[in-house]
Chains A and B, each alone.
Chain A
Amino acid sequence: MKRVWLHTLVIVLGLAITVLIAAAQRSNTATYDGNRQVKLQGPVTRIDWVNPRAFFFVDVKDANGTVMNWAVDFGNPLELEREGWKKSSLHIGDVVTVDGSPARSESREAFAKSVVLTSSGKRLFGPPTAKPAAAVSLPTPRWPDNQVRFGPSPGKKGYWGASSSRVLVDDKGGKIPMNEDGLLLNISDADRVAPFQPWAKALYLNRQRNLLKDDPLGRCLPQGGPRQFQMPNGFQFIEQRELGRILILLGGGDRNWRVIYTDGRPAVPAAEAVLTYYGTSTGRWDKDTLVVDSAGYSERFWMANGGLPHTEALHLIERFSRPNYDTLKYEVTVDDPRTYTRPWTATWTVQWVPDKEIEEYFCEDNAEHTFVR
């Protein structure tokens, strides 16, 4: 009988942990209410400097003198580092004033828009400042046979970091107002996002109206398709020329990687492919551009922020080029005749992060972010 209870306990704990994991890495839009403001002041009690989201915790005293501990989400550590933050910028015991957006739920969580050290008035964190003009980039690095390299020059380090766009939009649609999670500011712009079939548009609008709360990424599932090149944690090319393949190590996935075969093998017929998050990819060179043909995608993920649907018929043609040392140009043609009325193309660039490596990332690390405080 005792063992039966033990098994029950194990199951209950297992389910509880799974629930926490399942709720990790929700989008800002789904988690926080940007239309409301909250001001918090108090001493920092804890700092969680982890990917994909950094949190600190503050003891806040209410009007009755009751102390409540709040979790403050202040963004992605890699992006914070690019803005000049360091892990040591904030210390336990520092008294801070936080302006932010509260969680949509009743939990005591907020997304920080600014953090100020109360004692000195020093702003630790705030809206992004204008970036200094970039220095003139070095020329595109090349292999001895003059083929473009997508990794660093020999003896150097680096990876591909911030993308110029966090959303996937048909180039023909022009600039469409939406936030970084892909939430349209004006829902009537949906037709400009992509040439949807009616069912796909209806599903896309449904996801938009639900504030993207059902995003599989929020359940820590991989960011397949073009989305892998729009994640804040970046990616890295490992060109294994002797093996006829290129590995892409994805900083925004749970130690995920993708293989692009460049050994001349034929593309796997979609009907024969084992369906996966990253598909089956073969690459060839068109002068200085790597052209990658991918199919065999499962339907278990959203291929972009914002909830763009796809089916197993998804076929992507990706074109990678490196016009200079610091810039990767990415162009993807989405061909899924079961979802879209015609093939369509989106383009963006990704910036090189010199002298660094992608960092460890486990989506589940932010499961704690979901606790009810």
Chain B
Amino acid sequence: MLKRVWLLGCVVACLGFIMPMTAQEGHPLTGTWGGDWGPNPTTRNHLTVVLNWDGKNVTGFINPGPDSITLASVYLDVASWTVRLEAEAKDAAGKPVHITAEGKLEDISSYHRKIIGSWVQGTTRGDFRLTRD
């Protein structure tokens, strides 16, 4: 059993290394981004953001699935490679909550470029970190 787990680990590790070789070289925001946000290092919330450049606007949503949140706006400042995301979500009680995230696009030539910055969701302030899958 241990051997099989180890072999599976080997395969996953190799795939993980091979996959980044097929980078996306088009619009730097297009793609699926994974990461988290939270008010402090120990309280984190999983985050998946899907973005797509249609030639005029970047559209997308947060956490795809039945509870996905459509992004109301995505703004990319190409002079500074800063990104601003805005969305309307709902809290656990179903009350509307506004999300504003501002971050900087880093390592734009990398297979796994990142967006790192601040995340404000309702009255909660924190930080977020996204890495392109």
Q: Which residues of A contact B (CB under 8 A)?
A: 3-4, 7, 10-11, 14-15, 18, 22, 197-199, 201-203, 206-207, 210, 213-214, 216, 219, 221, 299-302, 309-313, 337-339
CB closest chain-B residue, reference A199: B78
Beta-carbon contact of B27 and A199 below 8 Å: yes
Decide if A3 touches B23 in the complex (CB within 8 Å). no
Interface pair A301/B55, CB less than 8 Å apart: no
Whether B27 lies near A207 (C-beta < 8 A) is no
What 1/0 flags go to B5-25 for Cβ under 8 Å of A?
011001001100110011111
Q: Give the A-B contact count at a CB cut-off of 8 A.
A: 70
A212 to B126, CA, bound (A): 36
When A203-B108, A210-B109, A338-B55 are in contact, do A309 and B79 touch as well, CB less than 8 Å? no
- Are the C-beta atoms of B28 and A199 separated by less than 8 Å? yes
List of A residues within 8 angstroms of B10 by Cβ: 7, 10-11
CB neighbours of A22 from chain B (8 A): 21
Q: Is the CB of A216 within 8 A of B25?
A: yes
A219 in complex: contacting residue of B17, B21, B54, CB < 8 Å: B21
When each residue 63-97 of chain B gets 1 if its CB lies under 8 Å from chain A and 0 otherwise, what string results? Answer: 00000000000001011010000000000000000
- Cβ of B109 and Cβ of A3 under 8 Å apart? no
Residues of the B chain whose Cβ atoms lie less than 8 Å from the Cβ of A202: 78-79, 81
Say yes or no: B22 contacts A300, CB within 8 Å. yes
Closest to B79 in A: A202
Extra 18 A-B pairs, beta carbons < 8 Å, given A14-B14, A213-B109, A300-B25? A7-B6, A11-B10, A11-B13, A11-B14, A15-B17, A22-B21, A198-B78, A199-B78, A216-B25, A219-B21, A299-B26, A300-B23, A301-B25, A309-B25, A312-B26, A338-B27, A338-B54, A338-B55
